[in-house]
Chain A
Amino acid sequence: MTQQVLNAIFIGSIYALFAVGYTLVFGVLDVLNLAHSAVFMLGAVVTYSLVALHGMPFLPAAVIAILVCGLLGLLIEFVALRPLRRRNAPPISALISTIGLALIFVAIVEQATSGSLFSWLWQDGANSVRFPTGTVPNPTYHVGGLTIEGTKLGILIISVVLMLVLGYVMRFTQVGRALRAVAENRRAATLLGINVDRIFASTLFVSSALGGLAGLLFGLALSDISPYIGRDQVELKGLAVIVLGGMGSIPGAVLGGYLLGLIEVFAFVRFGSNVEAGVAFAALFLVLVLRPQGLFGARLRERL
């Protein structure tokens, strides 16, 4: 059982890291960025590509991939969000345009085989691959019947530290205050001299960089990199997490991530896979009924 708790905490930290990016964009822009799962996937794919196809060591590859994902966030803002905002389109339009971008990102990767246009990025089509053995040292400890992997431990630490840093930035820095001002009231923020467009762009950059980081850590720890890791494995769960935690709330997303991980693992161990997703989403339903603002969602005014 203790092993299963460890498993839950670990998968929870991936959910949390993914959901934090999701919730950040929602909190600031009032838009669900459904291309976030595709950026998550590209974080893993770009790192894999640099390491396996271009022979780069893991660390610089990871840094480049995170930057690339941040830039993709800017692409999302400039292509899918800003033009619609200029036209005062309803939020649903932005939601659809981000779905469109997600489909394009996934299609680019799944169609890429050796000899194709994007073969410098990906050569395995719809297949699932893993980092070459030894890319990152992964000492595995067996303590009292428990298996603890170095990479998973590392990911847990990275996730927690990053989320603490993000929390600090949001609460105590000028940028964070500007972000929260924009989230609370766009027009008032503009009147106070805050460049709203720039805030939006930087939000997308940070959110997507975090998504990319979550993706590459996922690919590293779970030995699974494919065009579908975002769509099939974290997208819906990420949504569940931010609803659970309270839309737009960063601490909510973090705790929601760990909570979902725990609920899932316990449901699996106790009842089996047929009800695993069922139990997780039943919990979500309960939260929506009993506490529509989410577990940690304060009143709308105070989110982020």
Chain B
Amino acid sequence: MRTVARGFAIALAVALAACGGAGSTGTTSSNSYQGKTIQLGAILSITGAGGVYGPSSQKGMDLAVEKINGSGGVNGAKISLDTKDDASDKAQSAQVAQTLIQQGQLLALLGPTLSNSAVAVHPLAESFKIPILAVSTTGIHIVPDCNFPKTDPCKYVFRDSLGEESAIPTNIKVYSDAKHPKTGVLMVANDDKFSSDGGKIVQNTVGSYGIQLLDTVQFSKTTADFATPVTKAVQKKPDVIFITSLGGIPAKIMIEARKQGFTGQFLGGNGFNTAVVSKQAGDAGKGAESGSAWYINNTFASNAGFVQAYRAKYSADPDQFAAQGYAAILVLADAAKRANLTFSDTAGDRTKLRDAMESVNIDTPLGRFQFTSNHDVKQTIWVIQMDGNGGFTLVKSVTPS
């Protein structure tokens, strides 16, 4: 009796599966999307050290969701975005990701804001086979291996934020080609992944441009008074001070170094690229150069439209993190549009979305956007400098080979 029942159950399951399969192949039109919701979750650092970046990402994402839903959605399906704050804390970030994943309905995740937290969150998403798109993490080993102790790349982890491995060397090359500096000192926060990764990249790059690194001054990201580390750096009289750190720290270092009479150049990475940092640095930051994923004054349509809409909604200028957040939603929407989603089989839909993400090729505020085979962003790098008034000017654009 039991075997009969089991046989019946299997037959039923097979029949249902067959129907499901037939159903999904039958609806290649957009009709199946009508009235449905594409649920996304974002893990961002709204408070804590990453609170300099997270709120910008969130504003960019919200703007993109609003724009897409306002113009008919994705083949008629609406996007809903659930954003959670991880307080810039690695453990809390993993906790938040777990909660979002366990809701069971999300098609994809975005974030987390900090590379430090990504180390915990990305492997989690990979093991649950849910696509995750990093929107601001720039450290090394974010893609493709998502810090897994294994050799094959992570299949579900993507990144739309320009890595420091691309941004910093490009920035150093552009400055060296123009000014031929001879010596430098690196100032690096050694208790943060983003910062120490950036420091390693500087150390590995300067030699190729004939810059002698006179010293590496390490400090803690909780340093109160930067006079001490800055004195150590300035006394070496370098042509360039490289700063790889985040939050308000680059600004504080610049202010202190100028007070102590340093007249050379500041070079850095993504930590320079917000108006907040430029504003805090003020005069002291004027001329500081960094490689950026985005430049506000680019006039191509996909950026001009974004900047205009952002100003209209928030009465403030967007920054790089807002542009990357905005681009992330465009990327996911484009992938969702082509992924032939069923809206009934969440696990299957997640895989379909992942596959579609690999072939994204669209215009975004960052420029023409594609993923490399390693799921990293492939885009133009904009080398920018602080203008001393909280803004930036373009030095040079470098297109990827």
Contact = CB atoms under 8 A, between A and B. Distances in A.
Please tell me the size bucket of the interface on B. Answer: 35 or more
Interface string B278-306: 01101100000000000000000000000
B218 A129 contact: no
Contacts of B255: 130, 223
Given A11-B225, A113-B55, A269 B248 contact: no
Contact of B228 (A147, A149, A269): A269
Contacts of B55: 113, 125-126
Contacts of A268: 219, 228-229, 232
A273 B225 contact: no
B47 A110 contact: yes
Nearest to B274: A127
A268 B260 CA distance: 18
A133 B282 contact: yes
A193 to B, nearest CB: 44
Nearest to B276: A127
A286 B235 CA distance: 33
Contacts of A228: 48-49
A232 B190 contact: no
A59 to B, nearest CB: 22
B229 A11 contact: no
A226 B52 CA distance: 11
B47 A223 contact: no
Interface in A102-118: 110-111, 113-114
Contacts of B227: 7, 10-11
A222 interface: yes
Contacts of B222: 232-233
B114 to A, nearest CB: 12
B51 A110 contact: yes
A222 B228 contact: no
B111 to A, nearest CB: 16
A184 interface: no
B225 A7 contact: yes
A215 to B, nearest CB: 12
A223 B276 contact: no
Interface string A241-252: 000000000000
* Residue among A128, A133, A226 facing the most chain B CB atoms (10 A cut-off): A128
Contacts of A128: 52, 247-248, 251-252, 276, 280
A276 B259 contact: no
Contacts of A276: 220
B220 to A, nearest CB: 5
Interface string B195-228: 0000000000000000000000111101111111
* Residue among A129, A130, A229 facing the most chain B CB atoms (10 A cut-off): A130
Interface string A209-233: 0000000001000111010110011
Contacts of A10: 225, 227
Interface string A1-18: 001100110110010000
A147 B259 contact: yes
A3 B234 CA distance: 11
Interface of B: 46-52, 54-55, 190, 217-220, 222-229, 231-232, 235, 247-248, 251-252, 255-256, 259-261, 276, 279-280, 282-283, 316
Shortest beta-carbon contacts, A-B, top 5? A126-B51, A128-B248, A233-B224, A7-B227, A11-B225
Given A10-B227, A268-B229, 18 more contacts: A7-B227, A7-B228, A8-B228, A11-B227, A126-B46, A126-B47, A126-B50, A126-B54, A127-B51, A128-B248, A142-B261, A222-B224, A223-B251, A223-B256, A233-B222, A268-B228, A268-B232, A277-B220
22 contacts: A3-B231, A3-B260, A8-B228, A10-B225, A11-B227, A110-B47, A111-B47, A114-B316, A124-B276, A127-B52, A128-B252, A128-B276, A130-B251, A130-B255, A218-B224, A222-B252, A223-B255, A223-B280, A228-B49, A234-B224, A269-B228, A273-B229
